Amino acid sequence: GNGSGPTIASTNFTFTTVSGGSPGPVIAAVTSTGITSSSATITWTTDQASSTQVQYGTTTVYGSQSPLNSSLVTSHSVTLIGLTAGTTYDYAAMSTNGSGVTSTSANFTFATTPVAVPPIITAVLATGLNNTSETITWITDIASSSQVEYGITTSYGSLSTLNSSLVTSHSVTLTGLTAGTTYDYAVLSANSAGILATSGNFAFATTAAPAPVISSVTATGITSSTATITWTTDQAATSQVEYGITT
């Protein structure tokens, strides 16, 4: 009122208080589908329109993220590619609403399927040859273990120590070989599912050992009819003396 007349009220108006900012999206129904040896599709829903991204890795530290899809939707789908066969992955879904508030799901897991075919072995080479060792290298089309079987016949009889690290470029050094000897060998690689491939037979020949170095030649115990000749060599070797009254 104005002090001299009746009080007049305005029409009604409303306002809404804000409690600590906009809430983040509620992520639900997180699922992994379409799993192959190298890919998987992650889907989920949110209660409000939000962006789409997945963090993933072989541990809960993750380490990898799918590209961000900034389109604001409530049904989300991300296909992860370039995965390793026969491997368990941890992952979490991430969505950010139009107010910039991000929600991250709990951790989930999926396992890629093993590769059902053996590795393809190519480019088998013997390198770094010397008289007692040899390095064998080769390539596989998928990550696989490394081992070499070898011997002086195609029956082989010896195996290098298995290197179970899954790689595509392989290198195994054979040691304790006999100098001047031809060896047959084949390389072996198994994929993450344990499916083994063996190459065809290959061969290499170690180089001959160098001649012994003779030193400290001495004649001792000399009598009217005998003498003892002694000497040393830098490697194990046979013993023989040639002698006469001229050279």
The 10s digit of each residue's pLDDT in 167-181 is: 999 999 999 999 999
Q: What is the model's pLDDT at position 80?
A: 98
Select from 43, 143, 159 the least CA-distant residue to 83.
143
Q: What is the mean pLDDT of residues 6-16?
A: 70
* CB within 8 Å of 68: residues ≥ 6 apart: 51, 52, 53
Q: What is the pLDDT of residue 15?
A: 61
For residues 195 and 71, give the distance between their C-alpha atoms in angstroms, rounded to a whole number: 43
Band the pLDDT of 2: cuts 50, 70, 90: low
Cβ(80)–Cβ(67) under 8 Å? no
**Between 183 and 37, where is the model more confident?**
183
Does the pLDDT value for residue 18 go beyond 60?
A: no
- Could you tell me the pLDDT band of residue 21, with boundaries at 50, 70 and 90? low
- What percentage of residues in the chain have a pLDDT greater than 90? 78
pLDDT at residue 11 is higher than 70:
yes
Is the sign of the CA dihedral 136, 139, 145, 150 positive or negative? Answer: negative
* pLDDT over threshold 60, residue 62: yes
pLDDT in tens, 205-235: 998 877 889 999 999 999 999 999 999 998 8
Average of per-residue pLDDT values in the chain: 92
**d(C-alpha 233, C-alpha 217), whole Å:** 10
Region 191-200: what's the mean pLDDT?
92
Summarised one tens digit per residue, pLDDT across range 84-139 is 888 999 999 999 999 999 999 999 999 998 877 899 999 999 997 778 999 999 99
- Half-sphere exposure in the Cβ direction for 65 (13 Å, CA): 9
Assessment of whether the complete model's pTM goes beyond 0.75: no
- 135 vs 198: CA distance, rounded Å: 17
Q: How confident is the model at residue 19 (pLDDT cuts 50, 70, 90)?
A: very low
